[in-house]
Copies of this chain bind each other. A is one copy, B any other.
Amino acid sequence: MDIHEALYTTRAMRRVKPDPIPDDVQARIMDAAIRAPSGGNTQNWAFLLVDDPAIKAKLGPMYRECIDMLWSSIYADRVAAVEADPESPENKQWGSIMKSVDWAAANFETYPLFLFGFAQADSSGGSIFPAIWSAMLAARAEGVGSSLTSVLMLKGDEVPNLLGVPAEEDWRMAACVPMGYPTGKWGVAKRRPVTEVTYRNQWGQAPDFSADSALWP
């Protein structure tokens, strides 16, 4: 797969089938992930693949609790806005994300695989998220959909404890990535135009290039 197809079409794929992801596919995903950079190449990272139904059965209720917290706290205004006016363009997009997240919550135990990423001594996230994102891109190349969530951190140490993370070693859970073969189609994710979020030399100054629509394909 071409790098641009991967970069442009690896959008959040929450609706996936329960079909298992073969071990050799998982190996290729993870082997690509660990080529990512880390500060001083220290590779202070660890990855945990979860496919045991007994563990998934415990993660499901935790995830649903976290999503409930999310909807009723930091995203409460958005939830209310979507309910009040579901047809405005912004609320439509939000409504569709919420629906997709609610699907993930209701079906959490059916994901065939979860990838958890942990980092030590990485306060910025710069030494773990490149690897996580590489895993998602490598998964895309294998036809495996994924999405990135850090919402399980709302449960504090509960998830790390469930996964046997040694408390004395100061590992930070950075991300959980549910994976599976998509039920829907790949497509270019919609984003604010690059020229609106990219400046040149000074904040607010135009970048000197034009890109009214996606430059790929």
Q: Which of A10, A93, A126 has the most CB of B within 10 A?
A: A126
Given the interface contacts A2-B1, A138-B7, does A148 sit within 8 Å of B37 by beta carbon? yes
| Chain B residues with CB below 8 A from A12, complex form | 37, 41
A6 touches B (CB below 8 Å): yes
A76 touches B (CB below 8 Å): no
| Chain B residues with CB below 8 A from A147, complex form | 37
A55 touches B (CB below 8 Å): yes
Could you tell me the distance between the alpha carbons of A102 and B120 in the complex, rounded to whole angstroms?
25
A199 touches B (CB below 8 Å): yes
Determine the residue in chain B with the shortest Cβ distance to A138: B7
Given the interface contacts A124-B125, A198-B30, does A203 sit within 8 Å of B48 by beta carbon? yes
A interface list, Cβ under 8 A from B? 1-12, 23-24, 26-28, 30-37, 39-41, 43, 45-52, 55, 75, 93, 97, 124-126, 128-130, 132-134, 136-138, 140-141, 147-148, 150, 153, 163-166, 174-175, 188-189, 191-192, 194, 197-204, 207-211, 214-216
